[in-house]
Chain A
Amino acid sequence: MRQRMWNLKEAEVTPESLYVRRREFLSLGAAGALGLAGSALSFSCQASAKENPSPTFSNLKRGNFPTDEKQTPIADVTTYNNYYEFGTGKGDPAENAGSFHTRPWTVALEGEIKKPEVVDIDDLIQRFPLEERIYRMRCVEAWSMVIPWVGFPLAELIKRAEPTSNAKYVAFTTKLDSGEMPGQKRNVLDWPYVEGLRIDETMHPLAILAIGLYGRTLPNQNGAPLRLVVPWKYGFKGIKAIVKIAFLKDQPATTWNKMAPGEYGFYANVNPEVDHPRWTQAKERRIGEFFKRKTLPFNGYADHVAKLYTGMDLRKSF
């Protein structure tokens, strides 16, 4: 298959049916030196045996904010994940999230809104026209990807909930279920995962709720059935497996910010000039590339979002 990740050609993007098989036999422990020859054989035999049942979204509207940057191969997008609910290793979510149940699933809309409700995920998705958004994703760990999401503007959901004038912040909460999410059995973070945005940030057209990627249903390890995507912020703001969206008067306590307030700010806007205390944020490695590239202010979306923060000291409110 591929020799060097940083030498990828477009045509080498692995079809989903292939990488799913690859994960399966890897999880059988075939990576052991003795199993290498045999697994190569079984790989070639099994690869075409079963098509992935994942449904494909049709007639997707091509959304705004397009980029012609090369998209990160789906195999990488779906096997290199920070999703501590399924383990702290980058490969853990792909290995452990397979049996996670994303149906039945409800999302609670509550707090400072006129239309609080608990809505079934499929009913919720039906309300909004889906579109594809190809966004850069910059992890706080200084690596990045380009991902074609399928989703809808967060602003549409916010508007329909009819926030009151008291609603200044929106907090998102991940499902809490250590039976389904084995990573929650260890107190690595303060579960459940909570993230938040200022209400004007939620209304920005760049912010979306994603339910898919690469034209397919969102894989569990990427945050199914519903996740936040705010591409001008570090990836940890993109909370996964959302069960609650609460409209609040006050800024919510968010998970990584509580864990290490000096390292992970509430805003977490991508900013090459404000280093993480332990590493530089001036550069990033795009997954699949060898040389690091310069990180752009607001992850390259400054023209769209910088005005949200006029008058703020972004070194203090990092």
Chain B
Amino acid sequence: MPRRLLKPGVFVACLLPLVKLGVDAARDHLSPNPIAESMNRLGFWTLTLLLASLAATPLKTFFGWTAQMRVRKMVGLFAFFYAALHFTTYLALDQAFDFSDIGADIVKRKFITIGFAAFVTLVPLAVTSTDAAVKRLGFRRWKRIHRLVYVAAVLGVVHFVWRVKADYLEPALFALTLTVLLFARFVPARGKKASPAETGKPKNAGQESLSRT
């Protein structure tokens, strides 16, 4: 793909699940329980995009690919976008803003507790996703904050595992993928010495924040 098409291409691709949801909703193809179906789909894409963003660094480490590093932030932000839609669907459509029920759910239902925690964990990452935030916080502090993405991903996958009644295939695939991606972090990077992040002196914060430490 030509370099200039990478970002627009990924942007459009990340929007497709939402477009499909809208088209299916308009055509009444969201199953007889459209609210549950919407939440399931939005949750699925949240986790998928979150894990995709976590795959960027291992892909560079093991295969030397770098193109994905330029869209990692966008994919991560889309994961947050789908998480927000998932949570909003729960609040507005599933619970119709009945806050006493919502509060009870978050306190008493551990899969909802942990899903809520996952969403809350993503908020500071989304808020500090700009280059300006990297400059303001300093790269090291910014980097530390953004390690929360691992916490959010683990919470999100556990949220899915705990929700399922009997068929653990899909959540197990997410869990397996996440485990592989986490372990990949411990493998030494290619050309580690050359990694600018190691020097702590990034030339371009927006760019360097995407490299592996």
Contacts and interface: CB of A to CB of B under 8 A. Distances in A.
A: contact size bracket: 35 or more
B105 A31 contact: no
Nearest to A275: B108
Contacts of A275: 108
A318 interface: no
Interface in A69-88: 72-73, 75-76, 79-80, 84, 88
Contacts of A72: 32
A39 to B, nearest CB: 10
Interface stretch (B6-14, B65-73, B161-169, B195-203): B161-169
A33 B105 contact: no
Interface stretch (B19-27, B121-129, B134-142, B149-157): B19-27
B31 A33 contact: no
Interface residues of B, number: 30
Interface string A1-44: 11101000000000000000000001000010100100000000
Contacts of B166: 84, 88, 188-189, 259
Given A280-B104, A283-B101, A285-B33, A33 B109 contact: no
Interface stretch (A56-64, A125-133, A238-246, A288-296): A288-296
B34 interface: yes
A88 B40 CA distance: 14
A278 interface: yes
Contacts of B27: 1, 36
A91 interface: yes
B192 interface: no
Contacts of B105: 279-280
A216 interface: no
Contacts of B111: 278
A287 B33 contact: yes
Interface in B165-180: 165-167, 169
A143 B163 contact: no
Given A188-B167, A287-B33, A33 B23 contact: yes
8 closest pairs, A vs B, by CB? Answer: A76-B32, A88-B167, A80-B32, A2-B28, A287-B32, A188-B167, A188-B166, A1-B28
5 contacts: A3-B28, A36-B23, A143-B33, A280-B104, A283-B101
